C-alpha cells in the first residue's frame, strides 16, 4: 500500500492557550495501521492537541516528525498527506453538496464528477447531492464533511469528534471508514467521547489528564 511505513511521532509537546498551560509534555507515536483515540474530559486540550498536530496552532516546545523527517520545514508535504476534520464542517451553506466537495476537496486533488458521486454515495447522501448545504440536516452535513476524507487520498486522518450529530448508522459509517483506512495502511488520530472502534485490534488510546 501507498501509506506503508508511515509514522507520526510527537515528542514532549507543550502548548499554552493564553496563560493556561494546556498540553504538558505530550508524547506519542502512531504507525501505519494504527488508530489512536484521544480521550479525556472537556477542556483538557484534545482539540488543541489535534490543531497542534495539523500545524493550525503553534506548540511552544516539542518536536513532531512525519515519515522520519521533522515537519517544520516540510509543512506543505505534510499537509498533502493529511486530512483534517475539525469541529467545523467547513461547508458553504449556499453551495450544493456537490459544489462544496468540488471547490474544497478539488483544491487537493483533481476530481471528476464520478469521484464526487462515489464519495457522496459512500457516506450515504448521494440523493442530496444537488441540495444546498443549508437544507441538509446536521447529521447530513457531518456526512458531507466525512466525504472530504474519502476524497482526500491522505495517509494521516485527524478527526475532531467525528461522530458529532450522527445517528447509529452514521457512527457505524465512521467506524467503517476509519477501519478501512487504517487496515489499508493509513493512520488515524481522533478525539472522541463516544465509543469508537473500542474493541478493534487497531485501537490505541491516549488519555489526556488535566
Partner 1 sequence: MKRTPIFEAARLVFQRDLTLAWRRWDEVTQPLIFYVVVTTMFPLATTPDLAQLRVISGGVVWVAALLSSLLALEALFRSDVEDGTTEQWVLSGQPLGWLLLSKVAAHWMLTGLPLVVMSPIVGTALGLPFNAWGTLVISLLLGTGTLSILGGIGAALTVGVRRGSVLLSLLVLPLAMPLLIFGARSVGMVMDGESPAGPLQLLAAIFFMALSLGPLAMSAAIRISVEN
CA distance 86 to 19: 24
Instruction: Mark 145-174 with x for binding to partner 1 (rule: CB under 8 A) and - for no binding.
Output: ---x--x-x---------------------
Q: Please identify, using beta-carbon distances, which residue of 2 and 199 lies nearer to partner 1.
A: 2
Residues 58-117 that bind partner 1 (CB under 8 A): 58, 76-77, 79-80, 82, 84, 86-95, 99, 102-104, 106-111, 115
CA distance 45 to 208: 8
CA distance 87 to 89: 6
74 close to 118: Cβ distance less than 8 angstroms: no
CB of 24 to partner 1, least distance (A): 20
6 close to 62: Cβ distance less than 8 angstroms: no
Interacting span for partner 1 (CB under 8 A) from 19-27, 54-62, 64-72, 186-194 = 54-62
Q: Please identify, using beta-carbon distances, which residue of 39 and 165 lies nearer to partner 1.
A: 165
Residue identified by cell 483515540 is 37
The dihedrals phi and psi of 162, each to the nearest 5 degrees, come to -65, -25
CB of 100 to partner 1, least distance (A): 9
CA distance 23 to 45: 6
Q: Please identify, using beta-carbon distances, which residue of 39 and 118 lies nearer to partner 1.
A: 118
CA-CA distances (angstroms) from residue 121 to 146, 150, 164? 11, 11, 20
Q: Please identify, using beta-carbon distances, which residue of 107 and 209 lies nearer to partner 1.
A: 107
Note the residues at the interface with partner 1 (CB under 8 A). 54-58, 76-77, 79-80, 82, 84, 86-95, 99, 102-104, 106-111, 115, 148, 151, 153
Amino acid at each position: 500500500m501507498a501509506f506503508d511505513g508511515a509514522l507520526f511521532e510527537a515528542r514532549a509537546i507543550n502548548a499554552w492557550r493564553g496563560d493556561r498551560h494546556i498540553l504538558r509534555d505530550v508524547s506519542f507515536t502512531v504507525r501505519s495501521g494504527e488508530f489512536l483515540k484521544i480521550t479525556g474530559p472537556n477542556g483538557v486540550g484534545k482539540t488543541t492537541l489535534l490543531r497542534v498536530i495539523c500545524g493550525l496552532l503553534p506548540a511552544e516546545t516539542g518536536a513532531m516528525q512525519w515519515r522520519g523527517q521533522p515537519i517544520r520545514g516540510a509543512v506543505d508535504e505534510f499537509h498533502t498527506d493529511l486530512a483534517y476534520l475539525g469541529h467545523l464542517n467547513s461547508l458553504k451553506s449556499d453551495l450544493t453538496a456537490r459544489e462544496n466537495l468540488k471547490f474544497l476537496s478539488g483544491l487537493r486533488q483533481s476530481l471528476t464528477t464520478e469521484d464526487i458521486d462515489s464519495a457522496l454515495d459512500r457516506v450515504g447522501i448521494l440523493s442530496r447531492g444537488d441540495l444546498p448545504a443549508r437544507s441538509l440536516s446536521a447529521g447530513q452535513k457531518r456526512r458531507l464533511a466525512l466525504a472530504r476524507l474519502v476524497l482526500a487520498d491522505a495517509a494521516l486522518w485527524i478527526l475532531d469528534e467525528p461522530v458529532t450529530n450522527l445517528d447509529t448508522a452514521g457512527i457505524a459509517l465512521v467506524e467503517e471508514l476509519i477501519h478501512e483506512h487504517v487496515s489499508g495502511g493509513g493512520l488515524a488520530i481522533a478525539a472522541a467521547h463516544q465509543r469508537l472502534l473500542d474493541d478493534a485490534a487497531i485501537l490505541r488510546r491516549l488519555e489526556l489528564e488535566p
